[in-house]
Structure 1
Amino acid sequence: MIGHTESLDGGFPDAVTHAQTVFRAVMDAMAQPGTLGVVEVPVAPPAPLGIAAGALLLTLCDHDTPVWMTTALSKSALPGWIGFHTGAALTNTKADAKFAFVEADAPFPSLAQFALGTQEYPDRSTTLVIEVASLEGGKPLQLTGPGIRDTATIAPRRLPETFLRQWADNRALFPRGVDVVLTAGRRFIALPRTTMIREMEV
């Protein structure tokens, strides 16, 4: 009964208006990589998924968007929550996923295993929503690329160790490749595949 209640509770109180608000914030973040987006609408996804990740899920996923998630998330109340609030189907095959969700400190999957799109249809790729411990206080990373004036700096804490190497490989596939959104609490940072990321000297 608890699981059933968790599946029903915690969605947007005003589904249309709140989804539109979050969607605009996501589009702004994608257009300006490295800027902090904030989820300002009420949402309470089942643990261990965080607030921003849950808001993105409700906003971006529907019955036409297969979703992949980590083992821990799949064993939580999240699958029922997704089914009730979005109608999105779950997939165990990373390459079939339109969106993928990874909670903080989870084993990090290989980006290359997800849908990378094609030269003709680069948009047929996966967007990964990856939670981190915090979007501040980690190693400083410098961002350059489209949508960034000169440079931007981010410092996510406990970013998966293999992420930067994998990201360089992903960017080399352009126009193919995955896009990523880092989340922590109510905040998020978008990293479209065009963004170059390098470690800065501390």
Structure 2
Amino acid sequence: MTAFATQQPADPVFRAQANFRALMDALSRPGSIQRLLVDDDAGAIDADLAAIAQTLIDHETFLWLSPSLADDRKAREWLAFATGAPLVDAPERAAFALVAEADALPDLRAFGQGTQEYPDCSTTIVKACGGLTHGPRLACSGPGIKTPTTVAPAGLGTDFVERWAENRVLFPRGVDLILCAGGGVMGMPRTLTIKRLEV
């Protein structure tokens, strides 16, 4: 796993601001890997997921958890303390979804897709990965990418390209995806076109 993590034990406000900029850069420059400032004190939850949750999620944010998080009492307690976010069982109601399983990606169609009038009412899925650089090679193009770029996140599944194409055709509706591993974060907004590269 490529390590991008930087420990930042001092000022949590500074850390949140830096991570917010990193996340916005990741989404506006799809395929790039930005650095997160992580704090290992999260303990019960992946440090990257924790950093992103503390940055983007608050008490007004409906949050869906993947099974390994939903079944973990300590993880739920940490998220409740750190974010105050109300948990929902129905993924289509969630503004954000946290997926801790590195080798699984839930059905994108199960989440909130937004509407033609309010496409921003969709779900942003934040997924921990086994790595951002050693998975199957994918070619990405779209807004924010001057020339097609190659990415290789791990753990998206063999049918990810087809599933993403179904998401892309819904534009302006559809979900956005944030991938994280080893202190790095990569954004995959719904505007992104993704093709599989031959090995």
Answer yes or no: is the 8 Å Cα contact 1:142–1:200 preserved in 2: yes
1:53-64 aligned within 5 A: 53-64=49-60
1:158 is displaced (CA, Å) by: 2.7
Answer yes or no: is the 8 Å Cα contact 2:36–2:184 preserved in 1: yes
Question: Aligned match of 2:124 in 120, 123, 127?
Answer: 127
Q: 1:123 aligns to what SS in structure 2?
A: helix
1:131 is displaced (CA, Å) by: 1.5
Which runs of 5 or more residues in structure 2 are unaligned? 1-7
Question: Aligned match of 1:160 in 151, 157, 162?
Answer: 157
Name the structure 2 match of 1:15.
12
Answer yes or no: is the 8 Å Cα contact 2:103–2:156 preserved in 1: no
1:137 is displaced (CA, Å) by: 1.5
Name the structure 2 match of 1:69.
65
1:15 is displaced (CA, Å) by: 3.1
Name the structure 1 match of 2:171.
174
Name the structure 1 match of 2:4.
none
Scaled by the length of structure 1, the TM-score of the pair is: 0.88
Answer yes or no: is the 8 Å Cα contact 1:132–1:184 preserved in 2: yes
Distance 2:54 2:23 in 1: 12
Distance 1:17 1:132 in 2: 25
Name the structure 1 match of 2:92.
95
1:104-123 aligned within 5 A: 104-105=101-102, 107-123=104-120
Q: CA RMSD in A?
A: 1.7
Answer yes or no: is the 8 Å Cα contact 1:97–1:126 preserved in 2: yes
Answer yes or no: is the 8 Å Cα contact 1:44–1:54 preserved in 2: no
Which runs of 5 or more residues in structure 1 are unaligned? 1-10
Aligned AA (2:115): T
1:176 is displaced (CA, Å) by: 0.3
Task: Report whether the alignment pairs 1:137 with 2:134.
Answer: yes
Name the structure 2 match of 1:31.
28
Answer yes or no: is the 8 Å Cα contact 1:13–1:42 preserved in 2: no
Answer yes or no: is the 8 Å Cα contact 2:136–2:154 preserved in 1: yes
Closer, same or farther: CA 107–189 of 1 in aligned 2, 3 Å: closer
Q: 1:17 aligns to what SS in structure 2?
A: helix
Q: 2:17 aligns to what SS in structure 1?
A: helix
Answer yes or no: is the 8 Å Cα contact 2:38–2:47 preserved in 1: no
1:44 is displaced (CA, Å) by: 3.6
Aligned AA (1:33): P
Aligned AA (2:149): A
Runs of 4+ residues deviating >6 angstroms: none
Closer, same or farther: CA 43–23 of 1 in aligned 2, 3 Å: farther
Question: Percent identity of the aligned residues?
Answer: 41
1:14 is displaced (CA, Å) by: 2.9
Residue by residue over 1:8-50, the C-alpha shift from the partner in whole angstroms, topping out at 9 and shown as x without a partner, is: xxx9753322111100110011110000011124344334x42
Name the structure 1 match of 2:43.
46
Task: Report whether the alignment pairs 1:81 with 2:78.
Answer: yes
Scaled by the length of structure 2, the TM-score of the pair is: 0.90
